[in-house]
């Protein structure tokens, strides 16, 4: 109801009584069924991991969430031991230091190529390779996440969305690892392939070579939660923006943890918006399947 003032002594008159602003219809769909993603066969071998160049990086001049990054080489070496305190080391390295609460730091990008070396070495068991792919996907998505997060502020200030500090460097660094990572497609079990496919969706120019394999995997998991994200990855890898937007919208209709506003952000490409839906949801679909 809108009050109309007619003067200092005039009564308040309400017009259009009972009217309410139109409420947009929100379509909520039933989610597709979960589907397990196997971590077998596992092809780990007793081979060394190449960490050459690790000490050539000026870590003491770089930083992470808790200050100087001079402790990063020790943590990376500990992580390269598949029989060490893997979970604790990984949590400290990324959860506490390099990607603390989703932020990136000057030491984040330089550390990521060593994760790729650990993966492609074949020395780590599938479970540990999966963990590394999880963090690569999280790292790669920080750029899109920060762009979408800055959208409202950017509109208010009259400029394009600005990515958070270091996120673009991190995104580009992960992309540089893709050619070597996708070469492992045939040797990885389904759970790892799933994350590799989702990572590929964020870098179509590096990952088109496994587009057909992603399409086949999407067909295999059709009608399931992982299958929905594989279909989105396929659309992104082949740069089918309209299809990617439609698939992302369908996912948001049943995945209540996604923000429908992501797809409405101005001045951000469809690939970035749909890619964020892919990265955020893939980890949840993987968790559902375990």
Kindly state whether residue 104 falls inside one of the protein's structural domains: yes
**pLDDT of residue 216 exceeding 70:** yes
Kindly state whether residue 227 falls inside one of the protein's structural domains: yes
Distance between the two ends of the chain, CA-based, in angstroms?
52
Kindly state whether residue 17 falls inside one of the protein's structural domains: no
Supply the pLDDT for residue 25. 47
Give the pLDDT band of residue 133 (cuts 50, 70, 90): very high
* Percent of the residues in the chain that have a pLDDT greater than 70, as a whole number: 89
User: Who's near 122: CB < 8 A, 6+ residues apart?
Assistant: 43, 44, 45, 47, 187
Kindly state whether residue 238 falls inside one of the protein's structural domains: yes
Supply the pLDDT for residue 60. 97
pTM over 0.85: yes
Q: How far is CA 71 from CA 98, 110, 117, 167, 193, in A?
A: 11, 13, 19, 21, 31
Give the pLDDT band of residue 83 (cuts 50, 70, 90): very high
Kindly state whether residue 248 falls inside one of the protein's structural domains: yes
Kindly state whether residue 1 falls inside one of the protein's structural domains: no
Cβ contact 161:143 at 8 Å: no
**Helix and strand element counts for the chain (H, E):** 12, 4
Ramachandran angles phi, psi of 69, nearest 5°:
-95, 20
Angle at 141 between CA 139 and CA 142, to 5 degrees: 70
Q: Number of folded domains in the chain? A: 1
Mean pLDDT, the chain, whole residue set: 90
Kindly state whether residue 22 falls inside one of the protein's structural domains: no
**pLDDT of residue 287 exceeding 90:** no
Q: Provide the residue range defining the domain that includes 117.
A: 48-289
Least confident among 104-113, 177-186, 208-217, 280-289: 280-289
Strands (E), the chain: 2-4, 13-15, 63-64, 67-68
Query: Distance between CA atoms of 97 and 114, rounded to whole angstroms?
Result: 16
For the chain, give the number of residues.
290
Give the pLDDT band of residue 50 (cuts 50, 70, 90): very high
Query: Distance between CA atoms of 59 and 232, rounded to whole angstroms?
Result: 38
Q: What is the pLDDT of residues 37-47, one digit of tens each?
A: 999 999 889 89
Of 174, 78, 86, the closest CA to residue 129 belongs to 86
Kindly state whether residue 3 falls inside one of the protein's structural domains: no
Supply the pLDDT for residue 286. 86
pLDDT, greater one: 290 or 263? 263
Supply the pLDDT for residue 289. 55
Supply the pLDDT for residue 103. 97
Supply the pLDDT for residue 219. 98
């Amino acid at each position: 109801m809108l009050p109309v003032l007619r003067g200092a002594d005039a009564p308040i008159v309400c017009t259009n009584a009972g009217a309410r602003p139109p409420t947009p219809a929100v379509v909520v769909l039933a989610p597709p069924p979960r589907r397990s993603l196997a971590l077998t066969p596992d092809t780990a071998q007793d081979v060394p991991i190449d960490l050459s160049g690790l000490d050539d990086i000026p870590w003491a001049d770089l930083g992470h969430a808790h200050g100087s990054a001079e402790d990063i080489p020790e943590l990376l070496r500990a992580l390269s031991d598949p029989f060490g305190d893997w979970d604790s080391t990984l949590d400290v390295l990324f959860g506490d230091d390099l990607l603390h609460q989703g932020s990136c730091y000057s030491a984040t990008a330089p550390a990521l190529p060593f994760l790729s070396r650990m993966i492609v070495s074949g020395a780590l068991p599938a479970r540990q390779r999966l963990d590394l792919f999880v963090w690569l996907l999280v790292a790669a998505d920080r750029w899109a996440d920060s762009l979408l997060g800055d959208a409202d502020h950017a509109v208010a200030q009259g400029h394009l969305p600005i990515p958070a500090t270091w996120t673009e460097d991190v995104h580009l660094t992960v992309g540089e690892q893709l050619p070597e990572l996708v070469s492992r497609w045939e040797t990885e079990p389904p759970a790892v392939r799933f994350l590799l496919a989702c990572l590929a969706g964020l870098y179509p120019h590096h990952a088109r070579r496994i587009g057909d394999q992603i399409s086949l995997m999407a067909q295999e998991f059709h009608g399931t939660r992982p299958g929905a994200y594989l279909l989105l990855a396929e659309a992104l890898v082949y740069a089918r923006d309209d299809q990617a937007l439609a698939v992302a919208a369908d996912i948001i209709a049943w995945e209540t943890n996604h923000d429908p506003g992501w797809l409405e952000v101005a001045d951000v490409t469809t690939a970035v918006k749909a890619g964020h839906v892919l990265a955020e949801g893939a980890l949840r679909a993987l968790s559902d399947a375990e």
